Structure 1
Amino acid sequence: MTTASDLLVVGYDLDTGREVHIDDEPLPVWHAKSHRRGDSTLICHHCYLGDQTPTGTIVPLVVRGRHEGARRAHFAHPPGMAPTHGHSPETIWHSAGKHLIAHWAATMPDVQTVDIEEWLLDGRRRADVMVTFAGDTQLAVELQSQLLPDPDWLTRHQTYADGGITDVWLWRPGLRQLPRIMLSNGLPIWKLDVEPAHLAIGYGAPHEVGHDWYLAENPAVYDWHHPPCPRDRIEFASRPLTHFRLTAAGIQLPPDVTELLDNERDQRRAAAAEEAAQRNTPSSSP
């Protein structure tokens, strides 16, 4: 039986010294490097890194499935050669997620290069995925399975800001605590579900309507809004990753979501203006 974890195994190419994904090359390339059928230079990246195995463990991979077949093509351990308890979900999610995002980013307009595990020029930070757009503007994508202490996140965020690099942070779906420090710094919260290739949008719940609600600078907060405010109750709604676009400024919401949010904002602003007009109208004398 094929599990979701099996479908997300990332390989390591001993010839090139790079981690690789099933979609990086045509299947015949991987067959030629696979266990028994090939020269066994395609090995499990997770085993090699020491996830549930001694570091440096070499386990040649096989290729399962067919291109556009009923079962999606993927790398897999040969029977009996996987770690007893499998690889950790966090490790699988992080490795597969980097490649998913890299392949998606490469389809975006104006993207020149996409690099995985790319060091910044000053050597202070290595991005999970670095995207370079026309004009040499850059965007770094970080995938995090665990919540970072606020000072650590701020340090990483500032490193990117100092280099003129936009940073986008994607979090694992099962994360319970939310990185609200991001909201205080104007960044939205996204969750990446790798196996179905979906991105979840973090929305802020409507604020309580008080007596002076119409005076709010942004009346849209009285409906579901994006990005959330730092103290909001946050809910997530998921869409296929292909519905989103990536630009040098960050991830762009799907057009239908943007239209919906814009309409709700305009309706709230109109209601606020109407409320203000009514309150400023002198009442008639009896």
Structure 2
Amino acid sequence: MASFTNGETRLVYARYRNALPSAPLYYLEDDTVTNEVRAFARQQLICVVPGCPSEGLTAAHRHNKRDGFVHRGTNVTAGHAAESVNHLQGKAAVMAWLARVHPELDARTEVSLAGRERVADVLVTFRDGQRVAIEVQYAAMKVGEWEERHHSYARMGIVDVWLFGHTGHQMNVRDGAVYPNDVQRKVMETGAPLLWVNPDLDMIATATELEAAIRPPMLGVGYAVRFTDSHGQRPFTVPAWRGPADLAIDSFNAARLTPQGVSSPLLQALAQARIDLDALNAARERVVAEVQARQEADRLKDAQRRAADALRANYENAVQNGERQKTTDAAIASQQGLRDSLTAQQEAIDARDARERVALEASAATRLSFAHDQIAAAFGEVPEFLRVHLEPHSLAMCTYWQWETYRRVIHQAVGASFTVYDAYGHAKTVIGSGKPTGNAVRTWLQALTRMGMLATSDNTRFAVVRPVPATVEVPTGRSAAPEVQRCTECRQPLDPPFTREGSGRHSGCGPSLFARDELVPLPRASAPTSARLGKVKTCKACANPLTGTETDGFHDGCQPWRAKAARWGQQ
């Protein structure tokens, strides 16, 4: 961190004499200055600052500091503001990086946009027309100014990437830690990585912090939580989302530019660590919640028993004293109080479950965003075989679990085989409400079979025929719009991929997506299963498959005490 945030400013870029303003600059590598380099600098190079009154340069070798250019002449000092020099060299570093790793992209500096509404430091245009603006920011900036520029780029359909300066206003280091300023916290709130650039070292850095998984709480005798996930309290290095933070430094050459922004193995590893930590914490919170629910159920059961004993004793005393009616009224009131207490307890449990669902959906959204970046890197866009919409889940969530299953199970050598239960074993790891059913996974595999990617004879074991489907060219000629077909049940337009052929209705509007002879049910506990998954456990109440996180053999909602509580509340 100390070398990256060093406030020393060195001239490491220079312009070629008589070259066009848009021509590439010369970069001086450290510890390379020789007499030949000095002579070359005096003859061929000038100051990187446009309009410098003393533009002549020579090269200087330093034993304890970085090599750099210096102005020639005994009465000449640098005279340039460090902030301006750093900004110019930051743009030069970005242009040199793009020329090295993305020669196919069109990259230009100081580009005016929308009638000079905005001037981008570096504007990059991809072959498909998508644009990314890279802003090198050393000067101080207010939050309102950043928001105006950010929204301006958004209105023009341009993704903005911010590289903050390694020194000055944009690098606040105290006691060995980096403290993001207000503008940098706004950047983190958008979900983009917080990045700094050091043109002297030709390196970039991002903010990180250490977070550990939750510790098990003590819930009383007989209810101690013990996690068996083997993670212990090993901390995860994740992207910073608050402050203070540490710096993870990487070479510019390791980074790549996508239409969504800057990416690198380091940034991807940090994002994956955030996903893994969220998933681990969500799983541990579910375990704690289940133990707390059992503890609360035992407490309610004990309270009901004590209340019933008290009512019985009071009633017997009242009969003996000739006050039967008074005892009956008191019993009714006490029973109503118990009902109210039980209702309040159930509402508290429902509220807790709702909070857990929100947390799970937030974690699932983070996974979905990361999966979309992986799909974009692999295919450029979401291919058809990852857009098989199976209700009741959203298309985005279907794409997520289909991508996870595809890259873990299907993307193998031609001829490799697997079972539907192998695929379901990976698809069901999706957290949140997007977890698919076994029949949904089977339906998707059948769709891939129709696309020619897989082959099967029994809809249970599949073989890989073509890991990636052949590209289908889309006709460019115009044709008449087809007649809109509507569902016979809800009268909404039908979407062919989600409609059973010949049924005239949506899959969700009819009794079943398939005919009876086409539907192959998932195995019960006694049925043979894949060797990889082992024996499928089923719920003791409803006999449907368990997800693997239950600890008492029941689905959440199938426990016997919940049924008793529901009957008690209806009395």
Q: 1:19 to 1:152 in 2, by over 3 A?
A: farther
> Is 1:44 paired with 2:43?
no
2:12 is the counterpart of 1:8: yes
Amino acid in the other structure paired with 2:279: R
Shift of 1:170: 0.9
- Greater strand share, 1 or 2? 1
Which sections of structure 2, spanning at least 5 residues, go unmatched? Answer: 1-7, 29-36, 61-65, 173-179, 218-234, 303-571
Kindly report which structure 2 residues correspond to 1:206-285, keeping only aligned pairs within 5 A, or say none.
206=211, 223-226=236-239, 228-229=240-241, 231-254=242-265, 258-259=268-269, 261-263=271-273, 265-281=275-291, 282-283=294-295
Task: Give aligned pairs, total.
Answer: 249
The one-character-per-residue Cα deviations of 1:106-158 (angstroms, maximum 9, x if unpaired) are: 23348421111121243211111111111121111111113311111111111
Displacement of 1:191 after TM fit?
Answer: 1.0
- TM-score normalised by L of structure 1: 0.70
In the TM superposition, what are the counterparts of 1:1-286 in structure 2 within 5 Å? 5-11=9-15, 16-18=20-22, 21-23=25-27, 35=42, 37=43, 43-46=46-49, 48=51, 57-62=52-57, 64=59, 75-80=69-74, 82-83=76-77, 86-109=79-102, 111-174=104-167, 175-176=171-172, 178=181, 179=183, 180-204=185-209, 206=211, 223-226=236-239, 228-229=240-241, 231-254=242-265, 258-259=268-269, 261-263=271-273, 265-281=275-291, 282-283=294-295
- Aligned-partner SS, 1:233: coil
Structure 1 111/17 Cα, relative in aligned 2: closer, same or farther at 3 Å? closer
In 1: Cα distance, 2:203 partner to 2:69 partner: 21
CA distance 1:235–1:260, shift in 2 (3 Å): closer
Helix, strand or coil at the partner of 1:107: helix
Moved more, 272-281 or 146-155: 272-281
Aligned residues: CA RMSD: 3.9
What secondary structure does 1:151 align onto? helix
Output the TM-score relative to the length of structure 2: 0.38
Change (3 A) 1:82 1:62: same
Return closer, same or farther for 1:77/1:106 CA change in 2, 3 Å cut-off: same
List alignment gaps of at least 5 residues for structure 1: 25-29, 49-56, 66-71, 213-221
* Structure with higher helix content: 2
The answer to whether the Cα contact below 8 Å between 1:12 and 1:18 also exists between their aligned partners in 2 is no
Using the alignment, how far apart are the partners of 1:158 and 1:196 within structure 2?
A: 32
Secondary structure at 1:128's aligned position in 2?
strand
The residue type paired with residue 78 of structure 1 is R
Q: Does structure 1 retain, via aligned residues, the 8 Å contact 2:256–2:263?
A: yes
Q: CA deviation at 1:181?
A: 2.0
Counterpart Cα distance in 2 of 1:6 and 1:81? 19
Write the distance in 2 (CA, Å) between the matches of 1:19 and 1:91. 19
Q: Amino acid of the residue matched to residue 207 of structure 2? A: G
- Quick check: 1:111–1:131 contact (8 Å CA) kept in 2? no
Q: Is contact 1:138-1:166 (8 Å) kept?
A: yes
CA distance in 1, matches of 2:207, 2:47: 34
Deviations 1:21-40 (A, max 9, x none): 2159xxxxx999965x46xx
